[in-house]
């Protein structure tokens, strides 16, 4: 009985606290800072090249529709607007996956080339996009009842993208695995998400565009470390009954 308690406690201690996540996440970020920042900047550059012309077209068509009453511009306006939103979403997903890939390699003590990070991100792009859409729809559905259910669902899906990228699972399987990882650690994950959200809110009042170059990759490193801790803990807990059965 005492042995089981000790084992449970040692497993629990393997999950970093918020302070340790900030410290270790910052170290992981600094160790890979050049690659992470360049990936983030490339994403921003692609967004400028792709999105600005699209939304310039939206502005032009919108002016014609709302000011001049050109009804024939309505359908192109809607199509172009949706295309612009999809472009923003696609670039965000691609960059996020590339950053996660880079952080994962850095955590393993390896360096990855920028081109290789984007290649791996491209290979997981469609599943990642599908995951983002499905998770977003489920969160919005939960929020339609009240904001609190939406927040709860969002927290349980917090690691889904990391699961999809690092464990190569399908979108629905990634969502289910994220729920299992968060179970028993909801408040710790919620606290981390809350702190990150508050920092983003403060930074947005200063100059989020510039500060985000550093904060976004740093936050991904922190979340990744908590994900790996919870994944390790869940694996140990799941392996223990199997060991007892075999013995």
pLDDT in tens, the chain (247 residues): 444 444 444 444 478 999 999 999 999 999 999 999 999 999 988 888 877 766 666 565 555 555 555 555 566 667 766 777 788 889 999 999 999 999 999 999 999 999 999 999 999 999 999 999 999 999 999 998 888 999 999 999 999 999 999 999 999 999 999 999 999 999 999 999 999 999 988 887 787 667 888 999 999 999 999 999 999 998 877 665 555 555 4
Domain presence at residue 184: no
Q: How many other C-beta atoms are found inside a 10 Å radius of the C-beta of residue 103?
A: 31
Task: Give how many domains the chain has, as a whole number.
Answer: 1
- Spell out a b/e string for 205-218, using b for 16 or more CB atoms within 10 Å of the CB, else e: eeeeeeebeebbbb
Domain presence at residue 181: no
Task: Please give the residue range of the domain that contains residue 39.
Answer: 33-121
């Amino acid at each position: 009985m005492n042995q089981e308690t000790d084992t449970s406690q040692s497993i629990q201690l393997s999950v970093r606290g918020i302070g340790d996540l900030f410290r270790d996440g910052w170290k992981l970020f600094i160790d890979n800072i050049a690659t992470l920042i360049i990936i983030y900047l490339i994403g921003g550059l692609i967004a400028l090249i792709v999105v600005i012309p699209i939304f310039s077209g939206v502005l032009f068509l919108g002016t014609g529709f709302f000011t001049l009453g050109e009804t024939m511009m309505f359908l192109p306006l809607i199509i172009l607007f949706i295309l612009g939103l999809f472009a923003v979403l696609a670039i965000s997903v691609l960059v996020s996956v590339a950053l996660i890939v880079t952080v994962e390699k850095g955590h393993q003590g390896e360096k990855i080339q920028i081109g290789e990070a984007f290649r791996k991100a491209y290979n997981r792009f469609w599943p990642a996009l599908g995951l983002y859409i499905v998770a977003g729809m489920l969160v919005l559905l939960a929020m339609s009842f009240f904001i609190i259910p939406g927040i709860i669902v969002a927290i349980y899906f917090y690691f889904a993208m990391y699961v999809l990228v690092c464990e190569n699972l399908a979108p629905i399987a990634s969502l289910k695995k994220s729920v299992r990882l968060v179970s028993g650690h909801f408040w710790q994950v919620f606290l981390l998400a809350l702190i990150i959200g508050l920092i983003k809110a403060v930074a947005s009042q200063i100059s989020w565009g510039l500060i985000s170059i550093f904060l976004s990759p740093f936050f991904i490193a922190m979340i990744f470390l908590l994900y790996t801790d919870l994944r390790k803990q869940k694996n140990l807990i799941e392996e223990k009954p199997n060991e007892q059965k075999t013995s």
